[in-house]
Structures are given as C-alpha cells and as structure tokens.
C-alpha cells in the first residue's frame, strides 16, 4: 500500500530547489544541481514532481506567492499600511550581499522567460500584477482616508511601485551598498507622502 505524501518534506524540497533556481535561473539549473541541493535522486524528484524541473520551478514561484499572501494579510490588518509598504522597500537596503545579487526570483523569471517559456513568463507576470493590484487598492483606500496626500491616481502609483521593485532589484546588484540603496529607496518613496 502506497503511503500518504509527505507535504512537509515536499515543501522542504521546494525551498531547497528554490535557492538554486533563484541563484541560477530556470534554464541554467540542471537536474544534477537540484539533486545535489535537495539530496533526492532524479527518480525521486520526478516521482514527487511529475512535471519534473518545470513543476518544481512553478512550485518555487508558488511559494513566493504564499509569502505575498502573508504580506497582503499584514497590510489588510494594519492601521498604517503605507508605512509597511515603505518598510518593505527600505528593508532591501539592509539585506546581505547574497540577497542583492539574487534580486527577486519573480522579476528574474519574467526577464529570463520572455521569448523562452510563455507559461512561466505568464506566471511571473500574474504574481507581479497581483502585487500591483494590492498596492493600488491600499493606496486608493489610504487616499480616501486622507492618509496619503499624493493626488497621483492609485492605479498609476500601483504600477509605479512595481516598476520601482523591478528597478531596485537591478540597482541592488550594481550598488550593493546600504547607504546608496537607502538614499535611492528614500528618494523613490517620497511619492508616497
């Protein structure tokens, strides 16, 4: 009799694989890389993830979406969601150099998969658009409450924050210096006054 799947163990495999995907990207990550980092042989990986490397990569992106959902819950419960958004961006400056070099797996996927894999490209676009929608709704609500004085339409500011996110993930590779990043992030966030 076949045992029940071990969801916790599968999640651990996804997180380990995600680390390699995040550093190398989908295309450059080999099955040998995934076997090495997860400790599972190719057969075990394919038994667990029937879609192989691509399914494992999609689950890595899904894990980022789950982190986004946690952030969304925090924003929805917060009395000061704009402060949380600003802190989210400002925390980037304090990250370790390894984080700066990796950037954002979702933004990286969008760049890597354009003209390569439409399904993975669309998955990355969807996550970024969901984030944009969240920012837009928070901004709109805070403008109505009088907590955000900018008269720039919320939908424009939501797109701006996604543009800023994608840009800062390139800038942090160029200038992994906390002071430089803090100055640039502070400058960009002035739009949310």
Record the tokens describing residue 188, joined without a space: 């960009």
Question: Which structural domain range is residue 119 located in?
Answer: 78-192
Residue 74: predicted pLDDT: 95
Residue 86 in any domain: the answer is yes
* pTM value > 0.85: yes
Distance CA 119, CA 41 (A): 26
Residue 115 Cα distances to 112, 122, 130, 178, angstroms: 8, 11, 22, 34
- Please indicate, yes or no, whether residues 176 and 82 belong to a single structural domain of this protein: yes
- Please indicate, yes or no, whether residues 101 and 40 belong to a single structural domain of this protein: no
Run means of pLDDT, 10 residues per run, the chain, 193 residues:
49 91 95 90 81 92 93 95 97 92 95 96 97 97 96 98 96 95 97 94
Residue 115 is given by DSSP the state: T
Residue 184: predicted pLDDT: 97
Residue 68 in any domain: the answer is no
Distance CA 129, CA 14 (A): 23
Q: Please classify residue 161 by burial: count the beta carbons closer than 10 Å to its beta carbon, then call 0-12 exposed, 13-18 middle and 19+ buried.
A: buried
How many domains does the chain divide into?
2
Residue 66 in any domain: the answer is no
- Please indicate, yes or no, whether residues 121 and 48 belong to a single structural domain of this protein: no
Report the 10 Å Cβ neighbour count for 36. Answer: 12
Residue 47: predicted pLDDT: 81
Return the ∠ at Cα 126 (arms to 74 and 162), rounded to 5°: 65
């Amino acid at each position: 009799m076949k045992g029940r799947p071990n969801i916790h163990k599968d999640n651990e495999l996804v997180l380990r694989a995600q680390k390699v995907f995040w550093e190398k990207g989908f295309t450059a990550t080999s099955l040998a890389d995934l076997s090495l980092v997860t400790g599972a042989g190719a057969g075990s990986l394919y038994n667990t993830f029937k879609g192989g490397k691509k399914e494992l990569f999609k689950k890595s992106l899904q894990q980022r979406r789950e982190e986004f959902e946690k952030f969304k819950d925090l924003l929805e419960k917060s009395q000061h969601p704009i402060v949380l958004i600003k802190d989210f961006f400002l925390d980037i400056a304090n990250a370790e150099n390894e984080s700066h070099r990796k950037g954002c797996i979702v933004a990286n996927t969008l760049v890597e998969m354009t003209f390569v894999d439409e399904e993975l490209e669309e998955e990355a676009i969807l996550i970024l658009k969901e984030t944009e929608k969240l920012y837009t709704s928070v901004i709109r609500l805070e403008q109505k409450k009088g907590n955000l004085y900018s008269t720039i339409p919320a939908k424009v500011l939501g797109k701006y924050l996604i543009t800023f996110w994608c840009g800062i993930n390139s800038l942090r590779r160029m200038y992994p210096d906390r002071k430089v990043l803090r100055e640039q992030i502070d400058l960009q966030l002035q739009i949310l006054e």
